[in-house]
Amino acid sequence: MVKRYTLILLLFVLMLSACSTDKGVPAYIRVNTIPVTTEAITQGTNSSNITDAWIYIDDNLVGAFELPCDIPVLETGNRNIAIGAGVKINGISSLRAPYPFYRFYQTTGNLVPGESLELQPTVSYFDSLQFAFLANFDDISGSKLEASGGTDTTIGITNDPAKVFEGNGSMIAQLNRDSGFVEFQFVETISLPKQGTVIYLEFDYKTTHVLSVGLKSYYPSSGIQNTELINLNKSEEWKKIYITMTRAVSEQLNASNYRVYFYSLKTAGSEPLEILIDNMKIIY
């Protein structure tokens, strides 16, 4: 009798498990890449470094997933799906968020248990954004950067295909001594909004040495205040960086204008110092 009841109990448990498994079979949302489209004249390049997909179903956050991803979801049927383009803020892996200047991709899709819905999202900048600085470095007149700080810096535009990220040229800065430092900055100061307005600096870069990026705040009566924004490690490959300037600008309440600067130190005997930059933007 005990054996009979035990067998019945096991069969009942197996039936429950089978029912639970059937109901719990997920559907999948597949996203490989999230490219950006831009208006080239007013918004510059479509270069991007989107690392994550932030998935929403019917306005509920499913999660953030590193690309490429195949995301299991328990929702089924026709659903509203939104995808945000996630980036690493200041290049930091622990600071990941949807880039606030890219629209979310919106679509509807039929989610079927056990099947994968492959989406090919694209995102674009919001139309209301202001581009306070925009340079693609395709010609000398578009450089917009100059040597500063009394350094022995050679700065210009290179058309060497091996050193150009895209287009016809990239900015190049070099040091003509065995040791020393380079410093360069915007040719002109720019006006930026305060009071917590979200501001980002974007650009593509390669550098043989650590590259510091900072902000010069200009005060009519008291001079210049320097604020370091970030230190970029050397990189043999082109990288895209999204640098937040919001706090640095808003903390300088009485500054009239701003100028971004770049600094790199070369120690004696180290490899030749060379910095390449392309597609620079300041957006708010």
> What tens digit of pLDDT does each residue of 76-128 get?
999 999 999 999 999 999 999 999 999 999 999 999 999 999 999 999 999 99
Residue 51 pLDDT > 70, yes or no?
yes
State the pairing for strand pair 27-31/116-119: parallel
Fold: same for 23-124 and 131-283: no
What sections of the chain are H helices per DSSP?
2-23, 40-43, 246-250
Residue 55 pLDDT > 60, yes or no?
yes
Question: For 219-233, what is the mean pLDDT?
Answer: 94
- Domain residue limits, the chain: 23-124, 131-283
pLDDT given at position 140: 66
pLDDT given at position 152: 77
Structure tokens at 134: 């925009």
pLDDT > 70: percent of the chain: 91
pLDDT given at position 176: 82
The domain made up of 131-283 has a fold known as Jelly Rolls (2.60.120)
Least confident span in 2-6, 31-35, 107-111, 193-197 = 2-6
- Taking the domain 23-124, which CATH number applies? 2.60.40
Q: What is the DSSP string of 12-77?
A: HHHHHHHHHHHHTPPEEEEE----EE--HHHH--------EEEEEETTEEEEEEESSEEEEE---E
> What tens digit of pLDDT does each residue of 61-83 get?
999 999 999 999 999 999 999 99
CB of 156 closer than 8 Å to CB of 143:
yes
pLDDT given at position 103: 98
